[in-house]
Amino acid sequence: MTGRLEEVAAAWRSAKYPVMFTGAGMSTESGLPDFRSARGLWKQRPESLATMTALRREPGEFYFFYQWRIARLWAAVPNTGHEALAALAAAGFVKLLITQNVDGLHQRAGSDAVELHGTLRTVSCLECGAGYDSRTLLPAAAGWEDDYRAGRYLPGKECACSACGGGLRPDVVLFGESLPAAAWETAERASRAADFFVVVGSSLAVGPANLCPEFALANGARLVIINQEATHLDDRAEWVFRDRAAGVLAALRERIIG
């Protein structure tokens, strides 16, 4: 792997417009569990519970799902991969960091990131639009996870806006919603301008976000894919690392900026 790391580092160093694109695999080494590993109805069908319909029809399942994830994301810390990308960006080696993640770990590591799927760091009121830190949504009393497992969980007043009483929602893109327009435009423009494009921890299964590396390829960009599973663009990548994100990024950082 060392020879390939040297090649990628050299290509990255000479790139004029390097763009990064990260997904869930970026955060697994921060101890963020895949949400499908939790219990509950949404283990079987997250696509139908991460929706506005579910918020209205099954508020208990909906709110528990997000409370469970919010509690864990605030307990997680950025890993050496997040730190490597922040350091590379500070040194001028990243034009744009695009992420599919909603955990805010890039920002907490010091990176600016375009969040294609919104963020779980904040929630907002469905009625008046007031915004809150997402920890607002966490029940004050302990034991709510046990209550859920015992079938006696109900969403409490923490799920309502303290200004108007309207329901709160996470500021993430739910299934059936479109991507935030400004974020998408920024990501598309940078991807189309990229001459070097690195996919990190994404299986490129979710559209339209997964078009970004294709925009870059159409511009003639050299593509690097760092992901534990295969992706449909592996054949078009110049370098594929079937590996954990943090280790590869830390090794590249070492070779590019020391």
Size of residue set near Zn ion by CB under 5 A: 8
Cβ closest to Zn ion, residue 125 vs residue 233: 125
Edge-first strand order for the sheet with 96-99 is 114-115, 96-99, 18-22, 196-200, 222-226, 239-241
Nearest to Zn ion of 91, 164 (CB atom): 164
CB of 138 to Zn ion, least distance (A): 18
The one segment of 11-19, 73-81, 111-119, 162-170 that binds Zn ion by CB under 5 A:
162-170
Tell me the window of 3-11, 27-35, 155-163, 188-196 that interacts with Zn ion (CB under 5 A). 155-163
Rounded Cα distance between 59 and 162, Å, is 18
Task: Spell out, one character per residue from 93 to 132, where the chain touches Zn ion: x when CB under 5 A holds, - when not.
Answer: --------------------------------x-xx-x--
Which residues, in sequence order, are bridge partners of residue 168? 125
Based on the residue annotation, tell me whether 106 is a catalytic residue of this protein. Answer: no
Q: Which residues pair with 239 in a beta bridge?
A: 224
Max CA pair span of the chain: 60
Q: HSE-up of 195 (CA within 13 Å, CB side)? A: 8
Judge whether 104 and 151 are in contact, CB under 8 Å.
Answer: no
Question: Is 161 a binder of Zn ion (CB under 5 A)?
Answer: yes
The Cα 92–Cα 107 span in angstroms is 17
154 binds Zn ion (CB under 5 A): no
Q: What's the closest the beta carbon of residue 135 comes to Zn ion, in angstroms?
A: 17
Work out how close the CB of 127 gets to Zn ion at its nearest, in angstroms, rounded to a whole number. Answer: 5
Smallest gap, in angstroms, from Cβ of residue 137 to Zn ion?
13
Q: Is 248 in the site for Zn ion (CB under 5 A)?
A: no
Closest contact distance (angstroms) between CB of 64 and Zn ion is 21
Which residues, other chains included, contact 142 with Cβ-Cβ below 8 Å and sequence gap of 6+? none
Report the alpha-carbon distance of residue 159 to residue 181 in Å, rounded: 27
**166 lies in the binding site for Zn ion (CB under 5 A):** yes
Question: Considering the complex, what minimum distance in angstroms separates the CB of residue 103 from Zn ion?
Answer: 25
Among 90, 163, 205, 206, binds Zn ion (CB under 5 A): 163
Smaller CB distance to Zn ion: residue 14 or 162? 162
* CA-to-CA dists, residue 41 to 38, 170, 172, angstroms: 9, 19, 20
- Asked if 164 is part of the footprint of Zn ion (rule: CB under 5 A), the reply reads yes
Tokens at residue 145, please? 């996870």
The SS3 assignment for 142 reads: coil
- Residue 75 sits in the site that holds Zn ion (CB under 5 A): no
* CB-nearer residue toward Zn ion: 160 or 193: 160
With CA atoms as reference, report the closest residue to 18 among 249, 258, 251.
Answer: 249
Query: Mind telling me the catalytic residues?
Result: 117
Binding footprint of Zn ion on the chain (CB under 5 A)? 125, 127-128, 130, 161, 163-164, 166
